Amino acid sequence: MSRGVLQGVGLVRRYGGLTAVDHVDLVAPPGMITGLIGPNGAGKSTLFSLLTGVEQPDEGQVLLGTTDISRMRPDIRSRRGLVQTFQVPSLFPTLTVADNLLVGAENRRRDYAGGLLGLSAQGRGRVGRTLAGLLERTGLAPKGPVDQVVEEVLASLGLSDIRDTVAGTLPTGALRLVEFARALCAQPDVLLLDEPASGLDNAETAKLAQLLRQTAARGVGILIVDHDVDLVFSVVDQVYAMVGGKVVASGDPQTVRDDPTVRSVYLAQAPLAAAGQAQEKS
Ligand SMILES: Nc1ncnc2c1ncn2[C@@H]1O[C@H](COP(=O)(O)OP(=O)(O)OP(=O)(O)O)[C@@H](O)[C@H]1O
Ligand SMILES: [Mg+2]
């Protein structure tokens, strides 16, 4: 399996007698947007946590490329290119937008520097920062100076105007975009997005959809969990539907939307029922 493919293989997570994730196989390939849907309690967040490293599986593996990352901490996974955004944006409120983005870029840079010396991922944080500064001065830093990465991301997301604004003063919509921008500055191979559209108005959601497509087109693999099923179905290349901890359908959006189990269990819920009716009328 090539670099940048995120894979869950036979994942199981139990809480006492309850199997929240029940033998789930999932592949999120580079350059594609993969969606994860399911009713409340289906196991989406638990599966997401197994992929990010917040939780560890009782059975099965999480692979990034050919590497088994099942037991790695979230921050180590992030330095290896598996970057997540949080349901509640986790920015530094007293820092400017640009400085928040610099933090995102910094992690990846010092990891590169540490890697050159053959340091373990854990050792890189401590030593890497100094090395990274050194590398930059000698012109050996990866993919151009960090500042340049930040400016490119600011420009591509239309955030240059607020680069010097203190993050804590921004409204929700802008905060979510900045959170997304910070994740991009880490130059991810795979981006995991938990409810990225929550708190966004229609115009902001449309902009997010456009940014997701733009990001995937650059080769990044994206996995998105969101209650906004219209967003999920409109933006994904493939989707997994979970019910009771199991994947009950997967494939392209139309196939999953038409799947009898998905229709009976999931589409009965209000948001999708409305979407289904709208589609049937047209
Ligand atoms: N830490 C935990 N301890 C015990 N049970 C848990 C824990 N986390 C989740 N569960 C249970 O596991 C099942 C799956 O929960 P999960 O949060 O993954 O579902 P979900 O699909 O994300 O639901 P929602 O759409 O409501 O966010 C639920 O029955 C939930 O109550
Ligand atoms: Mg959840």
At 233, the amino acid letter reads F
Measured CA to CA, the distance from residue 185 to residue 166 in angstroms comes to 18
The pLDDT of residue 138 is 53
The pLDDT of residue 135 is 52
| Stretches in the chain below the pLDDT threshold 70 | 1-3, 87-89, 107-146, 266-282
Mutation test residue for ligand 1: of 13, 15, 265, the one with most atoms within 8 Å of CB: 15
Q: What are phi and psi of 176, to 5 degrees?
A: -65, -40
The pLDDT of residue 221 is 97
Q: What are phi and psi of 161, to 5 degrees?
A: -65, -25
Residue with the smallest CA separation from ligand 1 atom 27 is 40
Atom of ligand 1 nearest to the CA of 38: 21
Q: Is 36 exposed, middle or buried (0-12, 13-18, 19+ CB in 10 A)?
A: buried
pLDDT (tens digit per residue) in 20-44 = 999 999 999 999 999 999 988 999 9
Break the chain into its structural domains and give their ranges: 1-81+190-282, 91-187
Q: What are phi and psi of 239, to 5 degrees?
A: -140, 145
Residue with the smallest CA separation from ligand 1 atom 3 is 15
The pLDDT of residue 107 is 65
The pLDDT of residue 277 is 41
Ligand 1 midpoint to CA 161 (Å) = 40
**What is the architecture of the domain spanning 1-81+190-282?**
3-Layer(aba) Sandwich (3.40)
DSSP state of 268: T
The pLDDT of residue 44 is 94
The pLDDT of residue 192 is 96
CA dihedral 195, 198, 203, 209 (to 10 degrees): 0
